[in-house]
Amino acid sequence: MSAHGAVAPVRENCLTANDWICGEYLRTRAQELTDATVEHIWITGTSVLIGLLVAFPLALLARSRPAFAGPVLGLTTLLYTIPSLAMFSLLLPLLGLSAALVVTGLVLYSLTILVRNILAGLAAVPEEAREAARGLGYGPARLLWEVELPLALPALMAGVRMATVSTVALTTVGALIGRGGLGDLIDDGVQTTFKAQVLAASVLCVLLAVVADLLLLGLQRLLTPWTRIRRAEEAV
């Protein structure tokens, strides 16, 4: 860089001056930022998906056997209380320094939100809808899949959105073991007091949460077209 310093002093300025906002940083480290963002999306997405796969049977179990509801909800709430740094550290002896550790911790946190919302959604299905479906000869599985689940979808999706947004933020703590996506860049930036990197990674992280939320909102609208029809009728 020193050889070119005299030729292009302006280009060197914002990196050497350690400015908060630095176009040069974004240009030269685009690859690093992209990689971290991809890792972030990957960790968040996997966590929420696994969380959903675990939460769904748990919610069904809690619903069909009320004796299980208390322990299931109590345990997931208890897990929610544990600080993330402690959660990741407690899983360390079991899973080692791997992305699986971060994902497992994030799955455990997402369970609280997801189980509650699935339960609430299923509880809000009108009894008449169930009765009508049973009258039409729907078995329990078809009733769940074709009647209850679609009607519970808005509450379920609200849970998925909340879990996703908070998981995007929480993933940064994975920087503790070097598997935090954008959190790794933030961590590295703090150690080296590299302002542009910390700010860029932080802003990207918040943007990621906002974009994920909007995408899920779009998905929810696609999956529940009837809610819009009803709203349009009300408007008329």
Partner 1 sequence: MGVLADAWTWLATGSNWSGEDGAWHRLGEHVYVSGVALAVACAVALPLACWLGHIGKGGALAVNLSNAGRAIPVFAVLALLMLTPLRTAGYTPTIIALVLFAVPPLLTNAYVGMREVDRAVVEAARGMGMSARQVFLRVELPLAYPLLMTGVRSAAVQVVATATIASMVGQGGLGRIITAGFTTFDTPQVVAGALLAALLALLVEAVLVTADRLLDPRRRATAAGRRARWTSPLPTAPGTSGRSS
User: Residue numbers of the site for partner 1 (CB under 8 A)?
Assistant: 69-70, 73, 78, 80-87, 89-90, 92-93, 109, 112-113, 116-117, 119-121, 123-124, 155, 158-159, 162, 165-166, 168-170, 172-173, 175-177, 183, 186-187, 189-190, 193, 195, 198-199, 201-202, 205-206, 209-210, 213
Shortest gap between Cβ of 70 and partner 1 (angstroms)?
Answer: 7
Shortest gap between Cβ of 123 and partner 1 (angstroms)?
Answer: 6
Spatial CB neighbours of 107, under 8 Å, sequence gap ≥ 6: 47, 50, 51, 54
Closest to 157 measured CA to CA, from 62, 60, 222: 222
d(CA 162, CA 15): 37
Of residues 151 and 186, the one with the C-beta less far from partner 1: 186
Tokens read off for 104: 């497992």
Shortest gap between Cβ of 26 and partner 1 (angstroms)?
Answer: 17
Of residues 147 and 167, the one with the C-beta less far from partner 1: 167
Of residues 144 and 186, the one with the C-beta less far from partner 1: 186
Beta strands in 22-137 (DSSP E): none
Shortest gap between Cβ of 90 and partner 1 (angstroms)?
Answer: 5
Shortest gap between Cβ of 93 and partner 1 (angstroms)?
Answer: 4
Of residues 147 and 165, the one with the C-beta less far from partner 1: 165
Closest to 203 measured CA to CA, from 13, 66, 15, 20: 20
Looking at residue 148, the DSSP 8-state letter turns out to be I
Of residues 43 and 183, the one with the C-beta less far from partner 1: 183
Looking at residue 236, the DSSP 8-state letter turns out to be -
Closest to 57 measured CA to CA, from 121, 119, 13: 119
Shortest gap between Cβ of 4 and partner 1 (angstroms)?
Answer: 27
Of residues 37 and 117, the one with the C-beta less far from partner 1: 117
Q: Report yes or no: 111 and 58 within 8 Å, Cβ to Cβ.
A: yes
**Helix, strand, coil % (nearest 5) of the chain?**
85, 0, 15
